[in-house]
Amino acid sequence: MVRSCLLLPWILPNLARGSQTLEWLFDMGGGQQVFPLMDFVASESQEIDAFLEQQRQRLVMPGSSLTQIHDEAAHVRHQSAAANEVALADWLLQIHWSSLLDSDLGRGILAELSAVTPQIESSPCDAASYDVDDVFLERLERSLQGIETLPLEQNEFKWADFFGRKITQQPLCLVGVATLFLVAADITAFASAAEGGEHQMRLERALLFAQSLVRQHVEEAPPGQIDRHRRDLFRSRWPIWRLMRSIQKELDAGHEFRAPQNAALDTPQQETEDLLYLTVIVQCRNDDYGGNMLLRLNRMLATTTRMLHTTQVPSEIIVVEWNPVFNAAAIHEEIQREAGAESVPIRVIQVPTSVHMSMPHHKAHPIFEHTAENVAFRRARGKFILKTNIDNILSPDTILFIARQQLDPNVVYRATYMEYDVTCPEAEGLKADELVEWLFSREEMISGMNMEMADLRLKYPEDALVCTEGRFVPDAPQRPFYWAGSGDFVLASKQKIMEVRGYPEVAQNWQTDDMIHCRLRAAGVRQVVLQPPCVTVHQNHRRINRVRASTRWVITDKNFQEVCENPFKPLKTEIGLDGNWGFADRTFEEHVAPRPPLPTSALGALLRARHVRQLQTSHILRWKIRWKLSPRKTLLKPKAEALRHKARQLLHGFITQDFTANGLFTSSEKSEDWKTGHSLLPRGFNQIKVKGFAPQILAKTRAFVGEWSKFEAGELVEDVNEWLTAMTADAVVSCSMGMDMCNVERLGSKQAPHKFVETFRFGLGVSIGSITAQSEYGLKRFLPFFDAEGQLQEKYQASKKEMQRQVEVLVEATRRGELGDNSIIATMLNDTSADGKRVRYSALYGHVVNLMIAGHETTAATLGFTLQLLAEHPVYEERALEEVRQVLQGRTEPAVDDVPKLQFVEQCFREALRLYSPVTSITRDVAHDTLLGGHRVYQGERINLVTRALHTNPEYWGGEFGDPMSFNPDRFSPEAVRQRHPNAYHPWGFASRACIGSQFALFEAKTFLASILIHFRLQGIPGYRLVASCEGGGAAPSAEKLAFRVFPRPGGPLWADGLMLPLALPVAEAKESMEEDRASISTVSS
């Protein structure tokens, strides 16, 4: 007490001189509302220097007084006696504050002072306090506690706020204004510790300003209030000493920026799997920066997702929310999704404050945005990344350009950037589509774009046509950087972005947006400047002169050129050059913005989709998808991938494996039997092997022609499907099991089908539910004591046993060499799979039954459709016949080498197969989350690919060949097939579970059709409507009630002046050989 009183006589006259620091500062601010205090502190202006020198002159170095000050501070902390506070304030107002930071004792004083609990209510400064001050102070407190960062601009905004109060002559707390300088000093202290020199100077100047303001506060105290004002140093809510302590801590920590190693481009980057084509990345935080922030964000998201969805780009958007604003709603809660864009997920990744706080340069206004973007780069699932801005609305042409999916991985695409005021009444409430339409028809914008285009064409002539025509010159010279809004549109391959480690994570953002381009260029990436109409429109908003703390080690306009010449030389304060850039190891909270509400049913959604609009109700389903509405973490796979890596567990759930056993068609590909069978069986059906089956196939065709030649010319054949099924069943069993069942001949002589077929049909019928107690026993099933179900089961078990017995007989006959040695059974008995395994004996039955299931109704049904369609289209029938005549050169049936030449006949069959695929849907369990036809499907879901819908999708099947629903075999000309999307036609299934019998079916069908065409003219029934149905029984839909009037082909082998000549000889031959077969397997048919 005594000690401080001794000083008072010296202080008072000095204080009396008055400094008017506040007025001087506002004058110097030039009336600017926002002006960067740190820059101000660093300014080399003579006026500022002179002013500060004047302040400095008034201070003393404490020297030995430090011990006394420390004692006083301890008193204040422990006793809070008013007299101690006044005395201590006197000390503190006359010594250099920066000297406190230099010694242990000085730092001890700060420690004492920052522990003082301010008695806020008693501060006269409170009279000048407003609610907004409370908010600022709370943030400042949280920042000091490391909970929330205090962006430098908040400090500057506060300055603007004080400025406003000064102008309107409201009371102002000078201690509060002093606090702003202390915040600036805090940040500078960080830089000072790292760099020394210049920053040390800044630190001292900031402290001088702060101290000077506090002095003014005391000087201006009304008479009798001086002590109260002195005590405000400790009693005001403005945390002066806590800030001083923070400054001291920064200096103590002596932050040395990690000296980064020169980033080497060749560091192997972890291979990432590209799951989508595009990831769009934007960063933001819910701080309403620039006004209407959420509106701008939502407009950007709605328009982008809508266009990506419509153009079916497999894509996602990542909104990376950095340093989330305390107490503000999380961004994912603020995203409003519009319907019609559901295939594009919006992921919101949150980079918490703690991550930013963990960065060494967090106080020096770090580039949180770039850190966040790096986090997103790391987690992007697209092959390409478009880093854009929440303000940007992409032009439709930009999306169309991307949708071509022809981006070059060695190019970075930049786009023209236009400003436009979108926040106007006209644009209010517009939906995404309407907004895009409205925006890109603004005349003033179009003329701006035209001017821009002219300019860019001059500067980047090679890139002129990239947007519109995709043409780009790979060896074009590297042109100068494209500057405007450079950070707003960076479109490059993820691989390249990974190679250059994303954005430089440095403390300042002056031109760091451009640094990524320097690095990409150094990595050998070519810059392509997209030109209008590929543009981004920047939604104009309130401009905030973002504060740039101009520490000297940032990239500025001046040094950019130099830095860019050596872009991998680590930048001062740069982090993230190691393999862990973008916080690779960390897990971030992620939310998927709830998808827009779906229309009432998935069907409704599909109906509305563009590609199905023109189809009739019966064909509406392009993809029948089970929807899951819950958002969940997703692993995305592009369509083709998902199709290739299918995991089919219980395929064909409708066929009980009880009857079919573990055969190829009906078993899981995880089963050992499937694996062995899959390795072996296809060998039996390859093109060469199939040719070996030609005699059997021809024999069955000949038998068919023979039987039909027995009809009168013009006779009505009503059960065409039965005939066809008999023929294909005979053929497949003959080739795969070496037994001719003679079902064609049996049908001709009105006998019951072969027992094998009968047993097969009954067993299959019960297992798929087409034969039931009701169908089998009718009303009898209600008789007392008649156990219909039990009876049916018994019969079913007996038929199964019988089937097994028959197959066993065939197998044994084959083993003994009594049956065909080129049969599939022979292949299964004799061959081993790729891993040396043989088909299990007990699995033989399953495979045989499966071949029967898969291999006869399908071909028969398609043949029926083909015959009817040809009958309906005489022009094509004529062309097919002409081809057959040319190939056969006067012969009456095709030889094995003729079959491949029957190109047009094959086209007719394939076209019928397109329109009436007997396998109406193909079931797959989704192996990875993916997009199908623009819809999301999730791993583990079962999807049905509706073949008819796929095969009639106008996107692939319309155009020059007319209505997709029409029969036009020219769709399958080699040229047309080449130009079509390979996934547009899947009648045989696809990938590992594709049909193994397609070559067999084609060979058989062509042989048969050629023979029929040359022998008969089939006349369709007038008014007959071709409908695919299962009414006639069987698992594959066939042409309902198919019937023909059969005529001999005029001038053909059976033609006798309009009458039908029976085909005598060949049939007899065939019968002979069949008799032989029958004898050898008499046990089977008995």
Nearest distance from residue 857's CB to ligand HEM, in Å? 9
Candidates 511-519, 565-573, 918-926, 971-979: pick the segment binding ligand HEM (CB under 6 A).
918-926
State whether residue 377 is helix, strand or coil: helix
Q: Is 846 in the site for ligand HEM (CB under 6 A)?
A: no
Cis amide bond preceding 461, omega within 30: no
Q: Which of 919, 937, 946, 1009 binds ligand HEM (CB under 6 A)?
A: 919
Q: Is 859 in the site for ligand HEM (CB under 6 A)?
A: yes
Nearest distance from residue 414's CB to ligand HEM, in Å? 46
Q: Is 701 in the site for ligand HEM (CB under 6 A)?
A: no
> In which residue are the tokens 């029958």 written?
1078
Q: Is 866 in the site for ligand HEM (CB under 6 A)?
A: no
Q: Is 972 in the site for ligand HEM (CB under 6 A)?
A: no
Q: Is 690 in the site for ligand HEM (CB under 6 A)?
A: no
Read out DSSP for 889-926?
A: TT-SS--TTTGGG-HHHHHHHHHHHHHT-SS-EEEEE-
Report the C-alpha dihedral over residues 436, 437, 438, 443, rounded to 10 degrees: 110
Q: Which of 386, 995, 1018, 1084 binds ligand HEM (CB under 6 A)?
A: 995
Distance (Å, rounded) from C-alpha 920 to C-alpha 621? 11
Number of neighbouring beta carbons within 10 Å of residue 411? 20
Q: Whose Cβ is closer to ligand HEM: residue 820's or residue 987's?
A: 987
Distance (Å, rounded) from C-alpha 498 to C-alpha 378? 8
Q: Whose Cβ is closer to ligand HEM: residue 390's or residue 922's?
A: 922
Contact string (CB under 6 A) for ligand HEM, positions 804-833, x = contact = ------------------------------
Candidates 404-412, 488-496, 952-960, 985-993: pick the segment binding ligand HEM (CB under 6 A).
985-993
β-bridge mates for residue 929, sequence order = 636
Q: Which of 606, 854, 881, 1043 binds ligand HEM (CB under 6 A)?
A: 854
928 Cβ contact partners less than 8 Å away, ≥ 6 residues apart:
275, 635, 636, 637, 641, 642, 645, 939
Q: The tokens of 516 are what?
A: 């990524």
Q: Is 664 in the site for ligand HEM (CB under 6 A)?
A: yes
Distance (Å, rounded) from C-alpha 363 to C-alpha 881? 85
**Residue type (1 letter), 350:** Q
Nearest distance from residue 763's CB to ligand HEM, in Å? 18
Q: 717 to 746, contacts with ligand HEM by CB under 6 A? A: 732
Nearest distance from residue 334's CB to ligand HEM, in Å? 45
Q: Is 987 in the site for ligand HEM (CB under 6 A)?
A: yes
Q: Whose Cβ is closer to ligand HEM: residue 190's or residue 1003's?
A: 1003
> Beta strand pairing status for 589-592 and 346-351?
antiparallel
Total number of residues that touch ligand HEM (CB under 6 A) = 25
Give the orientation angle of helix 2-17 with respect to helix 198-219, to 10 degrees. Answer: 90
**Residue type (1 letter), 508:** Q
Distance (Å, rounded) from C-alpha 549 to C-alpha 603? 57
Q: The tokens of 830 are what?
A: 């004799």
Nearest distance from residue 689's CB to ligand HEM, in Å? 11
Q: Which of 1000, 1003, 1016, 1044 binds ligand HEM (CB under 6 A)?
A: 1000
Nearest distance from residue 590's CB to ligand HEM, in Å? 35
State whether residue 935 is helix, strand or coil: strand
251 Cβ contact partners less than 8 Å away, ≥ 6 residues apart:
101, 189, 192, 193
Q: Which of 922, 932, 1028, 1070 binds ligand HEM (CB under 6 A)?
A: 922
Q: The tokens of 816 are what?
A: 């003994």
Cα–chain center distance at 674? 33
* Widest pairwise Cα distance in the chain: 143
Q: Is 655 in the site for ligand HEM (CB under 6 A)?
A: no
Q: Is 869 in the site for ligand HEM (CB under 6 A)?
A: no
Candidates 83-91, 223-231, 849-857, 1055-1063: pick the segment binding ligand HEM (CB under 6 A).
849-857
The closest of 923, 890, 891, 887 to 906, measured between CA atoms, is 887
Q: Which of 237, 494, 622, 678 binds ligand HEM (CB under 6 A)?
A: 678
Q: Which of 693, 938, 988, 1008 binds ligand HEM (CB under 6 A)?
A: 988
Nearest distance from residue 911's CB to ligand HEM, in Å? 13
Candidates 544-552, 742-750, 858-866, 895-903: pick the segment binding ligand HEM (CB under 6 A).
858-866
Q: Whose Cβ is closer to ligand HEM: residue 576's or residue 918's?
A: 918
Nearest distance from residue 930's CB to ligand HEM, in Å? 18
CA 845 to each of CA 52, 851, 853, 969, 1077: distance values in angstroms, whole numbers, following the listed order? 100, 10, 12, 38, 21
Distance (Å, rounded) from C-alpha 250 to C-alpha 363? 10
Q: The tokens of 421 are what?
A: 């005021």
Q: Whose Cβ is closer to ligand HEM: residue 509's or residue 923's?
A: 923
Q: Is 606 in the site for ligand HEM (CB under 6 A)?
A: no
Contact 61, 99 (CB under 8 A): yes
Q: Which of 370, 993, 1006, 1015 binds ligand HEM (CB under 6 A)?
A: 993
**Radius of gyration for the alpha carbons in the chain, expressed in angstroms and rounded:** 42
Nearest distance from residue 833's CB to ligand HEM, in Å? 13
The closest of 421, 430, 434, 386 to 277, measured between CA atoms, is 386
Q: 4 to 63, contacts with ligand HEM by CB under 6 A? A: none
Q: Which of 568, 665, 704, 708 binds ligand HEM (CB under 6 A)?
A: 665
Please return the burial class of 166, using the count of CB atoms within 10 Å of its CB with bins 0-12, 13-18 and 19+. middle
Q: Which of 996, 1035, 1060, 1074 binds ligand HEM (CB under 6 A)?
A: 996
Q: Whose Cβ is closer to ligand HEM: residue 72's or residue 906's?
A: 906
17 Cβ contact partners less than 8 Å away, ≥ 6 residues apart:
58
By beta carbon distance, the residue nearest ligand HEM is 997
Candidates 243-251, 719-727, 782-790, 987-995: pick the segment binding ligand HEM (CB under 6 A).
987-995
Q: Is 375 in the site for ligand HEM (CB under 6 A)?
A: no
Q: Which of 69, 144, 194, 1001 binds ligand HEM (CB under 6 A)?
A: 1001
652 Cβ contact partners less than 8 Å away, ≥ 6 residues apart:
665, 666, 923
Q: 612 to 651, contacts with ligand HEM by CB under 6 A? A: 651
DSSP state of 820: -
Distance (Å, rounded) from C-alpha 445 to C-alpha 431? 20
Q: Is 304 in the site for ligand HEM (CB under 6 A)?
A: no
**Positions in the binding site for ligand HEM (CB under 6 A):** 651, 664-665, 678, 732, 850-851, 854-855, 858-859, 862, 918-919, 922-923, 987-989, 993, 995-997, 1000-1001
